[in-house]
Amino acid sequence: MRAKRMLSLVAALAAVVLLAAACGGDSNKLKTDNNGSGGGAGKHVVIGSAGFTEINLMAAMYQLLLEKAGYSTSIKVVANRELYEPALEKGQINVVPDYAATMAEFLNVKKNGPNAKPVSSNDKDQTVAALNKLAEPLGLKALDPAQAVDQNAFAATTANAKKNGANLSDWNGQKVVLAATPECPDRPFCQPGLKNTYGITVTKLLPLGFGTAQVKKALTDNKAQLGLVGTTDATLASMGLVIIKDDKGLQEADNLVPVVGKGFTSDTTMADTLNKLAGVLTTDDLAQMDKKVDGERQKPADVAKAYLQSKGLL
């Protein structure tokens, strides 16, 4: 789900069609018990969600906080950044939870081409500053980043980790089948990063998504040797999977951050509301919420509400 790809003209036109479909109906709306009534700020906010557990949780927390602040809200599930970033520029989506370094590099490639020098780093504040430098001309703005960080990671079975090594550098020269997102071959921190940083050749990509049950099953069935997951995935150990350590620092500061779109970049009420979450959310908090949804089958909206109440934000 995360990182960067420049669209060709044909792909861009296809994205417009897909976006219209993605934003066209209530089937893409995450339901909560809240009645969504306006008041206070008196504005309607469309919250974008990329549709996987962690971002669903973030979107649900944004929704609850914004509704408490007096906004009416809806959540639209839009499959990937190539679709929701243009929607932010157009005002079709008003805010999305995103990952700081990944969004920064996405905009960097969009502006400067696929060979652009990276602008992100391991420092979250520097990365968000770089993100906002690219976002401002597009009418976008990143708010405060949370301490919570979920970086891309590559998981394997404990058996393969024992065989090939606990660090990605130990896998140098290996040829692997990779279970990941369809966009992975075009994203520098994904398949190209495995090759360029670690000397790992992907012989086949299984387009099974990011951290999905299908990715993990492909690993446990040995149909793939590496699978794309997040560092906050709390279900791996119970499935006999481990994260292979990114010992050369391929991944950047992917702290969770709200990215605000057209019409809301100067909205101080929205900024103040969402920045309260950034002030308390930790990586461990996020991992435990992910576990409740993925491991215990609780609803994202229920987990989000309980967490915000525990922090005194609701």
* Higher-confidence position of 178 and 12: 178
Give the count of domains, the chain.
2
Q: Do 221 and 262 fall within a single domain? A: no
Q: What angle do CA 15, 294, 311 make, to 5 degrees?
A: 95
pLDDT at residue 160 greater than cutoff 80: yes
pLDDT at residue 8 greater than cutoff 90: no
- Please check whether residue 3 lies inside any domain of the structure: no
Q: Do 64 and 23 fall within a single domain? A: yes
Q: Do 117 and 203 fall within a single domain? A: no
Q: Do 18 and 128 fall within a single domain? A: yes
pLDDT in tens, 169-219: 999 999 999 999 999 998 888 999 999 999 999 999 999 999 999 999 999
pLDDT at residue 1 greater than cutoff 60: no
Q: Do 171 and 144 fall within a single domain? A: no
Q: Do 138 and 55 fall within a single domain? A: yes
Output the domain CATH number for residue 115. 3.40.190.10
pLDDT band at 125, cuts 50/70/90? very high
Burial of 306 (0-12, 13-18, 19+ CB in 10 A): middle
* Helix or strand holding residue 242 (H, E): strand 241-244
Alpha carbon distance 49, 26 (integer Å)? 14
Report whether 66 contacts 94 (CB < 8 A): no
Q: Do 144 and 162 fall within a single domain? A: no
Q: Do 25 and 145 fall within a single domain? A: yes
Alpha carbon distance 153, 117 (integer Å)? 22
Contacts of 98 (CB under 8 A, 6+ apart): 81, 142, 256, 257, 258, 259
Structural domain harbouring 213: 152-244
Q: Do 203 and 237 fall within a single domain? A: yes
For residue 212, report the phi and psi dihedrals to the nearest 5 degrees. -80, 165
Of 244, 264, 287, the residue that ends a domain is 244
The mean pLDDT value for 5-32 works out to: 35
* Higher-confidence position of 27 and 268: 268
Report whether 253 contacts 41 (CB < 8 A): no
- Find the Cα–Cα–Cα–Cα dihedral 172, 178, 180, 186, rounded to 10°: 60
Type of residue numbered 17: V
pLDDT band at 247, cuts 50/70/90? very high
Q: Do 62 and 140 fall within a single domain? A: yes
- Please check whether residue 4 lies inside any domain of the structure: no
* Higher-confidence position of 36 and 309: 309
- Please check whether residue 1 lies inside any domain of the structure: no
The mean pLDDT value for 149-159 works out to: 94
Output the domain CATH number for residue 165. 3.40.190.120
Of 194, 210, 244, the residue that ends a domain is 244
Q: Do 21 and 92 fall within a single domain? A: yes
Report whether 50 contacts 103 (CB < 8 A): no
Q: Do 38 and 133 fall within a single domain? A: yes
- Please check whether residue 134 lies inside any domain of the structure: yes
